[in-house]
Structure formats: C-alpha cells, structure tokens
C-alpha cells in the first residue's frame, strides 16, 4: 500500500521548516512518503487550495493531510475533494477576513485540531467554533500561534494518529 503525508505550511512559513522536518520523520517511520508543497508564491489561501488539488495523488492508496494555520485551511478545504484518511490541523486559520470559505465539509476518517491558548493570530475561539460545529476533537496547549513549544506533544499526538490507521 502506498501512503503519503502532505504538509501544508502557513502563510509566512516555508515548506521545509522546523515543524515540517519533525513531522516528516514520524511519517517516514510509519512507511509514508512525505510531501511539502511550496506555497510561497501565493498569499491567497484559495490559490493554495488549487495548487494542492493539482497534485497527482492517484498513485497513493492513503493520503493524510497536515496543515498549519493557513495550511490547515488549505488542507480542510481540499479534503472535500481529496477525501484523505486523516486531517491533522495546527492553529487552523478558520473564519478570518479574506478567507473565502467559512462553511466546510471536512472529509476524513479522523480529524484532529490543535491550538494554542496564547495564539494572537487566530483566536482559539475560531478552532472551538469549528470543532463544535463538526464534532471534532480539539486539543489546546499553553503556546502561541507557531506552537513550537508544544512540538514534543504534537509529535507524540501525530505518531498516535498515524498508528491509529494501522501503520
């Protein structure tokens, strides 16, 4: 079975930053290929969705999407078409001005949302609103928008998340 994890970076992030590398190590340990598209050319989140949907995923039996901030919006909107096995969302940029979609149809077998209490970019209330509406598990950490101080916990969560798929 061919499996892939696709990491969708945030608005001002890079495709292979600190978080990406750590998630890639976990994914590879479970036999997943790992992709991190470069979205830096587009500041419009919906252009990034189009870029993700243009990827050829036909060779994969299982797709897992990770998204951080704007990347979580991208992964969630794209999930409606991709129908991944899992959605793993960090500080999702939901319900913000300039983001076209405010109603979602998150499509995945398992969806997890992680947010920081001290996030001053995307209020934690936005994650709660999404999770309440779609009945998704919300995990809150005492960290800021980038969530770097919570990375050890997030890596553990991601490992358990992938293990839950029989990896």
- Structure confidence at residue 166 as a pLDDT band (50, 70, 90): confident
pLDDT at 65 over 90: yes
Across the strands, what pairs with 89? 67, 113
Arithmetic mean of pLDDT, 6-35: 97
Across the strands, what pairs with 7? 66
Structure confidence at residue 52 (pLDDT): 98
Question: Where do runs of H (alpha helix) occur along 30-109?
Answer: 45-53, 70-82
The domain segmentation of the chain, as residue ranges, is: 3-163
Task: State the Cα–Cα distance between residues 86 and 98, nearest whole angstrom.
Answer: 26
Global confidence as pTM: 0.97
Across the strands, what pairs with 33? 4
Structure confidence at residue 81 (pLDDT): 97
- Only one residue has tokens 């947010």, namely 115
Contacts of 26 by beta carbon, 8 Å cutoff, 6+ apart = 155, 158, 159, 162
Question: Where do runs of H (alpha helix) occur along the chain?
Answer: 18-29, 45-53, 70-82, 124-134, 151-163
Structure confidence at residue 70 (pLDDT): 98
- Structure confidence at residue 2 as a pLDDT band (50, 70, 90): very high
pLDDT (tens digit per residue) in 69-116:
999 999 999 999 999 999 999 999 999 998 999 999 999 999 999 999
- Only one residue has tokens 């209020």, namely 123
CATH level 2 (architecture), domain 3-163: 3-Layer(aba) Sandwich (3.40)
C-beta of residue 104 within 8 angstroms of C-beta of residue 76? yes
Task: State the Cα–Cα distance between residues 34 and 15, nearest whole angstrom.
Answer: 12
pLDDT at 167 over 60: no
Average pLDDT along the chain: 96
């Amino acid at each position: 079975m061919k499996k892939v994890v696709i990491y969708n970076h945030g608005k001002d992030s890079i495709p292979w930053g600190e978080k990406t590398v750590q998630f890639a190590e976990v994914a590879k340990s479970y036999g997943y290929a790992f992709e991190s598209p470069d979205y830096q050319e587009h500041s419009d989140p919906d252009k990034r969705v189009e870029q993700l949907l243009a990827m050829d995923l036909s060779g994969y039996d299982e797709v897992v999407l990770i998204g951080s901030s704007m990347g979580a919006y991208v992964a969630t909107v794209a999930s409606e078409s991709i129908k991944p096995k899992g959605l793993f969302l960090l500080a999702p940029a939901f319900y913000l001005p300039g983001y076209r979609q405010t109603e979602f149809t998150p499509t995945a077998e398992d969806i997890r949302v992680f947010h920081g209490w001290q996030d001053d970019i995307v209020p934690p209330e936005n994650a709660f609103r999404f999770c309440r509406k779609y009945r998704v598990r919300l995990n809150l950490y005492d960290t800021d928008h980038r969530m770097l101080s919570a990375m050890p916990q997030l890596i553990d969560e991601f490992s358990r998340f992938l293990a839950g798929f029989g990896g």
